[in-house]
Amino acid sequence: MRKIKKATVLLSTLTLTASLLAACNDSNTESNNQAAANNTTKNETPAATNETPAANESTTPAPDAPVDGGSLVVGTFSDINTVNPIYIGDTSSGDLGTFVNANVYDIDRSNNLVVEPWSLASELPVISADGLTYTIKLKPEAKWSDGQPVTADDVKYTYDTIRNPDAGAPGISTVDKIDKITKIDEHTVEIKLKQIYAPFLYTLASSIVPYHILKDVPVKELEKNPYGKDPAKTITNGPWKWTKWEAGQYNTVEADPNYWGSVKPHIKTVTIKIYADQNTQTQALIKGDIDLVSSVPLTILDTVKAKDNINVVSQPGPQYEFIQFNFKGDNFPDKYVLFQSQKTRQAIATAVNRQGMVDNILKGTGTLLNAPFLSTSWAYDASAATNYAYDTEQAKKLLADDGWKPGKDGILEKDGHRFSFELQYNAGNARREQVAAVVQQNLKDVGIEVVPKAIEFSAWIDQNVTPGKFEALLLAWSLSNPDPDGESIFSSKYFPPAGQNSGWYKNTKLDELWVKGYSTVDQNARKAAYAEAAKEISTDLPYVFLYQYGAPEAFDKNKVKFDEADKPEATLGYGYFYHAIKWWTVK
Amino acid sequence: MTEYFIKRVLQSALVLLLIAILSFLLIHAAPGGPKTIYLSPGLSNEAAKIQAHNLGLDRPLPVQFFSWLGNLLKGDLGYTFKNHVPVGKIVWPTIGHTMILMGTAWVLSLLIAIPWGIYNSTVEYSLSDQTASFVAYIGFAMPTFWFGIILQELFSLKWDLLPLSDMYTMGKEGNLPNLLLHLVLPVSVLTLGFLAGYSKYARSSMIEVMDRDYIRTARAKGLPERRVIFRHGLRNALIPIVTLLGLDLPILVAGAALTESVFNWPGMGRLFVQMAISREYSVLMAITLIVAVFVIIGNLFADILYALVDPRVRLDRKGGSA
């Protein structure tokens, strides 16, 4: 469930408007990712390690008492498609869904699956001893906005529909391990899996649809159904009701006076307003037209930070960037894989100034990463992965040890092969352009020639990434599900074109570790497997892992108020609205 | 006249069909067309095939084209790829919004540019004429979005006199004074852009005409200068301007993508940019076609107006193709 950031599409096409504002091209356009609300479990690393002291301080509002009835205006930059949770696949729709759709389970700041007062379930799922059956109990008081109770039928219908290929639901792969869903009683559902698959737990941190409204709709017609598209016909179960969709302009939700939860929302009206791009949106925040934006472009970050009334939350999101190597001979001249030696790959990791990228290109808004596990994840073990500190001399030494010798033009050679490769990335992504230039210079310093090549995003994905045809590339993964499982992108079971291991990377030990990691629901056993995976992958380096990053959130601190416990959490999908039910607004 | 008109309409229909075919082919040939954008990485291959089938994307191109064309003739612009929202629901409201913005700017710029240009032609190199030249150069040289940002910075963020962006303050939709306030900045930007072209055009066209023999004749026979300018000069000077107006007509619909984006005006220009970003090709095709219709109408309109202001252009068999 790792998706190539949809927003990179945004970026590549933004070249159109890039001429409009230089800043438009900024990397942070990418924060518009499609992280789903699915999330994680235990966390043993304090999330706060990611934050600068300034960020901590600035997100703490004055401790005044909550007031009811305020309004909140949020900026976004594309219209919604639907609020039907079965079909939500884009950030704007997901943002709106956060307010109107309750989740069966929620995720807390430390990535635990939890039952909040606003969750539909009454207790955590009970997992059978064999790890195959999950029993979910719903709160009897949970109701749809038309007064009907939320029942086991709703849960069964929702997951069965997502499972049905005719429905065309984007989340189909999140439920492909389900064998059978059984209604035990009005408020109890039992989900049986085909195999033990621990990441399934996070699938349950999602929203459901009303069976009593949709049961007679043919599944192929479901996507076209007004449910999710027409506010008047969309029955929801969250704290707010969707009341208005002004196409291309804004969406409004209002606190549902009949909301079933024991905790009621303080904010009466939430409006999500569409702006042409991040810059106009940020201007509107400065002007006071809107109260919160989920991402500020780095180019104007300093301007925004300088404003007295605006707080900036600088914590990277759930996405990381990397240099990927290709291991398939067909992609190289004479079928000679330049990166076949582990030592060579380690030399490249050592030669690249990753900290410099974080400081200068990300302006400090990112953090270094050594393995595909985010530091906020329970699977993260700080001591497991190898960190390659920037050291040109050490890199040169590693390359020499590995048999690379300088040729006539100073570029290294081995067995008659010149160390020169093409580094691909998507055109129009300013961040990657800068990173590619740094990589080119850093590797030139150790005698490796890098030819950066920018390609239009869609064409690139179609013709190079998906079929695995490239020498090396620069890309990012956005973790829509923070489960540490990485099988689908690193295992040799998933070679192109069907799978997403587009570098044709094969490591038998790692292949087994991924299976070991998801084949138990015992979290300590899982943690051990992923620590081992982190060690193996950071030694073997199918990627040079660069950094975790994300655009900073900003809000009007004189208007938007919350207690410290309810502040936004950037590392969660839609975490910029974390605990919004407890926020209040003044003015 | 009727025959000419029918001929032109038939020609136009043919041109439209060609445009339809071309835009359809181009969009389907583009890398990462509707198929790839729909089939997101999370989908299994099996589900992806079913999706493509549901959308009709697995049918041969000609079949897809005629099905699209057939729906189009019924006035059905199709659905968006991502979530089956009717394209018409998205596109039609934006045309109105764009026409309000562009129409205001256009009319305003004409009202200023033509009289000013004509006046300047009579007082060449005067202060007024120099000013007009200066304004025109700024209008030509300054990117509209840049000017827009400067205006926003000053009038909205710094002095707080005018709204920063949007068409209405939220909740005041349909309120005319509110709309007018929101129009001031974007209209100023657009007007400056139009003004530059039209005033220069009006001036040079007038100067050229005023040099002609028939003007000299008119003056020689003792007509008052006023009458010479308005009756003999202006009427002839307007001919090229009218052509220009006809050709500019589609802009009223297509909008100015950059200005609309900077001012967050919910028009068709901004929509086009947003839809290009999210690769909603059905919407892009619809917009392309709608604009094409207006281009053709604009041309037709220019030809007819041309004939009306210039009696030498006859709308008969011979003159029709002028």
Give the pLDDT confidence score for residue A55 in this predicted structure: 41
Contact list, A286 vs chain B (CB under 8 Å): 157
> How much of chain B, in percent, has pLDDT values that exceed 90?
22
pLDDT digit string (tens) for B34-56?
444 443 334 445 555 666 676 67
Residue B189: its chain A contacts at CB < 8 A? none
A344–chain B nearest CA distance, Å: 31
Contacts of B259 in chain A (CB under 8 A): none
CB-based contact (8 Å) between A327 and chain B? Answer: no
The distance of B322 to chain A (nearest Cα, Å) reads 37
**Confidence (pTM):** 0.81
In tens, the pLDDT along B305-320 reads: 776 776 666 555 444 4
Per-residue model confidence (pLDDT) at position A533: 97
DSSP bridge partners of A182: A190
What's residue B47's pLDDT?
53
Report the alpha-carbon distance of residue B80 to residue B84 in Å, rounded: 5
pLDDT above 90 (res B137) = no
Residue, of A89 and B33, whose pLDDT is higher: A89
Contact B202, B118 (CB under 8 A): yes
Residue A476 token pair: 């990012």
The pLDDT tens digits of the residues spanning A150-200 come to 999 999 999 999 999 888 787 888 898 999 999 999 999 999 999 999 999
Q: Greater confidence, B113 or A64? A: B113
- Nearest CA among A314, A379, A366, A326 for reference residue A552: A314
Instruction: Please list every residue in chain A whose beta carbon sits closer than 8 Å to the beta carbon of residue B145.
Output: 20-21
**How near does any CA of chain B get to the CA of A165, in Å?**
5
Nearest to A131 by CA among A83, A191, A74: A191
Residues in a beta bridge with A475: A322
| Interchain CB distance below 8 Å, A13 and B47 | no
Judged by a CB distance cut-off of 8 A, whether residue A565 touches chain B is no
Structure tokens at B311: 């009696």
Q: Tell me which residue of B104, B120, B107 sits closest to B199, measured CA to CA.
A: B120
pLDDT at A50 (0 to 100):
39
pLDDT, tens only, B244-257:
887 787 877 777 88
pLDDT band at residue B284 using 50, 70 and 90 as cut-offs: confident
Task: Give me the residues paired with residue A584 across strands.
Answer: A561
Widest distance between CA atoms in chain B: 87
CB contacts < 8 Å between A and B, how many?
147
- pLDDT at B30 > cutoff 70: no
pLDDT given for residue A22 in this prediction: 30
> B53-71 pLDDT, tens per residue?
766 777 788 888 888 888 8
CB contact at 8 A, B40 and A89: yes
What residue type is B102 in one-letter code?
M
CA dist B111 to B104, B117, B159, B198, Å?
A: 11, 10, 29, 10
Q: Which residue of A has its CA nearest to B32?
A: A458
pLDDT in tens, B78-97: 877 766 778 888 898 899 99
Strands, E assignment, A256-293: 269-274, 292-293
Set of chain B residues whose Cβ sits within 8 Å of the Cβ of A276:
260-262, 264, 270, 273-274
In this complex, the residue of B40, B46, B277 whose CB is nearest that of residue A14 is: B277
**A403's torsion region: left (phi>0), alpha (psi -120 to 50) or beta?**
left
Q: Which residues contact A262 (CB under 8 A, 6 or more apart)?
A: A117
Task: Report pLDDT for B35.
Answer: 46
ipTM of model over 0.85: no
Nearest Cα neighbor of A369 from A351, A387, A389 is A387
**pLDDT value at position B306?**
73
A10 closest CA partner among A90, A85, A82: A90
| Strand positions, DSSP E, A438-574 | 449-455, 472-479, 543-549, 553-556, 560-561
Q: How far is B294 from chain A (nearest CA, A)?
A: 23
Per-residue pLDDT of chain A (587 residues; tens, 9 = 90+): 444 444 333 333 333 333 333 333 333 333 333 333 333 333 333 333 333 344 444 455 455 789 999 999 999 988 888 999 998 877 889 999 999 999 999 998 878 899 999 999 999 999 999 999 999 999 999 999 999 999 999 999 999 999 998 887 878 888 989 999 999 999 999 999 999 999 999 999 999 999 999 999 999 889 889 999 999 999 999 999 999 998 888 999 999 999 999 999 999 999 999 998 888 899 999 999 999 999 898 888 888 999 999 999 888 988 899 999 999 999 999 999 999 999 999 999 999 999 999 999 998 889 999 999 988 888 899 899 999 999 999 999 999 999 999 999 999 999 999 999 999 998 888 899 999 999 999 999 999 999 999 998 878 887 898 899 999 999 988 887 778 899 989 999 989 887 889 999 999 999 999 999 999 999 899 999 999 999 999 999 999 999 999 888 999 999 999 999 999 998 888 899 999 999 999 97
pLDDT of residue B32: 53
